[in-house]
Structure formats: C-alpha cells, structure tokens
Amino acid sequence: MDERTAGGGLPEEPPVTSVESVFREEHGRLLAALVRRFGDLDLAEEVTSEAIEAALERWPADGVPPRPGAWLMTTARRKAVDRLRRDQTFATRLAVLQVEAERAEPAPAAEVAGELPDERLQLFFTCAHPALPAEDRGALMLRCLAGLATPEVARAFLVPPATMAKRIVRAKKKIHQARIPFRVPDAGELPQRLPGVLQAVYSIFTEGYTASSGPDLQRIDLAEEAIRLARILRGLLPRQREVTGLLGLMLLIHARRHARTGPDGELVLLEEQDRGRWDRTMIEEGLRLMPVALTGGPPGPYGVQAAIAALHDEAADLASTDWPQVVALYDVLLALDPSPVVALNRAAAVAMRDGPEAGLALLEELSGEPRLRGYSPYPTARADLLSRLGRNAEAAAAYREAIELAGTEPERAHLRRRLAALDQPGS
C-alpha cells in the first residue's frame, strides 16, 4: 500500500512500485476516456477497477506491458462492451454506441501509438459542476481523478465511510439523471466555471494543510494529492494563469510542512518555524511559477496568494519579511476577494508593518462580521496582538475563546501554551 493508506502526516513515503505508479497515473485518464465513450460514470468506474484488477493478476506474472495505459484501456473497453451486452436494458443504448464507435473508430490508432487521448479535463469540470453540492466536488475528484477508493475519500474528509458512500452515490446519481454533461466549458464560460474546479482542488489541499478535525494537524497525503491534481490540471490548461497560481501557492505553502509541526505533532507558527527545514526544491519550483501566474494580465486571487506565500518563503526570518509588500498584496487580494477572512489576514500583516495597535484597530472593525464568528483564527489574532500590547487579561479571554473554537488538538495545545505563557512575567 502506498502513502495514502499510511497514517496522515508521515514525512517519509514508501517508494511506490512501478505497477502502482502506473495505476495512479492512469486511473483518471482511463476513467475519463471511458465516461466519454460510454456516457456512464458508474459503468466506467466498474470497468476501470476491473481492468486494474486484471492487471494486478496478469502483470506480476507476464510483466508490465510496453504501453500499460493502452492495455488497461483495451481491457476496460472490452469489459464495458461485455457488460452492456449482458444487460438487457442497455441493449438499445449499445446499438447507438456501436454506431457511434464505428463512426469515430480512427481513435484507436492513437492508442496503438501509445498516446491515449486525455479527457481528464472534462472529468474535472464534471466533478466540479456547480449543480453539485460544493462539499461533494472535492470528494468526487479524489474518487474519479485521483483514483482513491470510497473509504479512502471518507478518511480524507474525516466522515464515516457509509456517509461518504452515500454522498458519492448521490452526486453520481445527479450527474447521471440530471445529465450533467461531460464537457469542457467553452471559452466564454471558462472564466465562470474554472474557479469552481480550482476551489475544489484547493479545498482538498486546505483540508490537508489544516485538518478541520481529527488528531493530526496536517494531512500531508491529502495535500500532495491536491498538488498532483493541480499538476494534471496545469498540463491540461497550461495557459490559464490561475491554475499556475494555485499550483504555485500550494507548493510554496507545502514547502513548510516539516517545520509546521513539532516533535509531538504540535502546531509551530510561521515565526517559530525552523526555516532550515523548509523544502527549498519545492520553494524554487513555486517561485519559478510566479512570473507565469502574475504576468500577462490582471492577477487572480490564487496568483496573489502565491505571491504572498513567496514573500514569506524568501525571507530569512519574520522580521526581515517584506511586510509593506505583503500588505500591498493583501490590498490587491481584498479588492479581488472582499471577504472578512482576507481582511483578517491583512490586519495581521498590517500589525507586522505598523505595530500591534494598528492591527488591533483593524480587527476591531471586523468584530461584527458574521463569517468570523466561530472562526478560531480571529480570536487567536486578537489574542496575539493584545498580548504584544501587554493587555494580558483581554488576551487570555481571547485565547480561551480561540481554544473553544479550534478544530484539532494540536491547535488547542498550541493555544493553551500561549495562554499559559501570558502568566509568566515579561511575556
């Protein structure tokens, strides 16, 4: 088994066997091509798993075929046709499909040459269709594009497997019965539809970055799955700058993963992190993406957030971070996405540039925001600034509020330590 089934947060990944890496690489592609051909997500999923099972039986004995993707595709397609033949209710549809298949049959020539048509982009847009509940979009992507089994998807979003199974069935039923099309939106619709796809990928990442509940702060496996999906997406939409921006953002944040937790899994804040433990290779890759994400037109929210992450990653320590530039970028971000969460982050950056008093004034302005009610970073930010101003009693109250609201034990432990430190003289 690969790292997905190991406990979340393990820094070392066991090396994947070649067979497994083929499956991971081919699963989404295979599924997408089969949905395209047969117009049925359930059928496509079943024959994809069957083809992989067949490969698991055959390949260890016969060796991995020279074009494993084409082998899997041929096997899956045969299984799909067999299944449709057996199934009376599909008989008429099969007749239609066969006519269409004959008309479009030049396609296998490309498959013989080892190049499978890449239809994963259609699958991305299907999984992230706005007609589906937002909470199901990331789950469907993990299921269909990353090839995770339903119990693994359930584990990823920390819901019981039965609940996740129901959600996936419900989403697939809607795709099938309401006939959500398997297609890439045209150029006119793309600006409207792409953000939903990016949001779904980013929601997988953020669940990995800070789990909303559960024992571990980070779910490194999940964050890496999101990065893998973003890489695929970038390969399919190389000219969409926000795709590049999102990939850059995730790499620049993920580069800090090993420094974000202490020996006991506790949260370590940016200012306390050992920057020597940051992943330089990943930072450099993220930085290389920046010019692509930020030039050639007005920047999008992911590109701007990536630029902010880049400023943090490039700084030797907290004090030498280019705070005026960080604040300027938050101004741009706030214009693109005028949300109270962005305003909260901007206030924290202003506090670093102009001092805690200035930051606190901005936080007070946000006190009535309903979206920040119940959001632990808000009282945490207030508490930190209050303690820097020596207003310890108020800081303590804010830390207690944040502890109530925090989602994971490492976050709570961190906040308790900050609260305890308040009582010590000179803190």
Number of chain residues interacting with another protein (CB under 8 A):
12
Residues in contact with 114: Cβ distance below 8 Å, sequence separation at least 6, in sequence order: 66, 67, 69, 70
Select 122 or 218, whichever has its Cβ closest to another protein. 122
Q: Is 281 in the site for another protein (CB under 8 A)?
A: no
Q: To the nearest 10°, report the CA torsion of 381, 383, 386, 391.
A: 180
Tokens of 122: 């259609």
Q: Which listed residue (85, 166, 170, 183) binds another protein by CB under 8 A?
A: 183
Task: Please say which residue, 93 or 416, places its beta carbon nearer to another protein.
Answer: 93
Identified binder of another protein from the candidate list 177, 213, 281, 424, rule CB under 8 A: 177
Q: Please, are residues 185 and 379 in contact by the beta-carbon 8 Å criterion?
A: no
Q: Counting contacts by CB under 8 A, is residue 179 touching another protein?
A: yes
Q: How far is the CB of 43 from another protein (least distance, A)?
A: 13
Query: What minimum distance in Å lies between the beta carbon of 128 and another protein?
Result: 13
CA 48 to chain centre: 23
Q: Sign of the CA dihedral 396, 402, 404, 409?
A: negative
Task: Measure Cα distances from 260 to 44, 198, 309, 319 in Å.
Answer: 40, 24, 14, 18
- Kindly tell me which of 52 and 127 has the beta carbon lying closer to another protein: 127
Nearer residue to another protein within complex by CB, 115 or 189:
189
Near another protein by CB under 8 A, which window of 5-13, 45-53, 114-122, 175-183? 175-183
Helix, strand, coil content of the chain in percent (nearest 5)? 70, 0, 30
Q: What minimum distance in Å lies between the beta carbon of 84 and another protein?
A: 12
Q: Is residue 180 involved in binding another protein (CB under 8 A)? A: yes
CB–CB of 313/322 below 8 Å?
A: no
What is d(CA 33, CA 144) in angstroms, rounded to the nearest whole number? 12
What does residue 426 show for φ and ψ, rounded to 5 degrees? 85, 0
Please say whether the dihedral angle defined by the alpha carbons of residues 59, 65, 69 and 72, taken in this order, is positive or negative: negative
Question: Closest separation between CB of residue 187 and another protein, Å?
Answer: 15
CB of 189 to another protein, least distance (A): 8
- Residues 4-43, interacting with another protein (CB under 8 A): none
Q: Under the criterion CB under 8 A, does residue 95 sit at the interface with another protein? A: no
Partners of 267 in beta bridges: 261
Give min distance, CB of 131 to another protein, in A.
Answer: 6
Amino acid at site 315: A
Candidates 178, 269, 335, 420: give the one binding another protein (CB under 8 A): 178
Element (H, E) at 95: helix 91-103
238's CB contacts (< 8 A; 6+ apart) are 244
424 in contact with another protein (CB under 8 A): no
Minimum CB distance to another protein, residue 132 (Å):
10
What tokens does 243 get?
């795709």
Instruction: Kindly state whether residue 213 participates in binding another protein, applying the rule CB under 8 A.
Output: no
What type of residue sits at position 94? L
User: Residue 261: helix, strand or coil by DSSP?
Assistant: strand
- Between residues 183 and 288, which has the closer beta carbon with respect to another protein? 183
With CB under 8 A as the contact rule, which of the stretches 177-185, 264-272, 295-303, 358-366 interacts with another protein? 177-185
Among 131, 187, 316, 319, binds another protein (CB under 8 A): 131
**Token digits of residue 254:** 């993920």
Residues 70-89 that bind another protein (CB under 8 A): 88-89
Comparing CB distances to another protein, the nearer of 154 and 175 is: 175
Per CB under 8 A, residues contacting another protein are: 88-90, 93, 129, 131, 177-181, 183
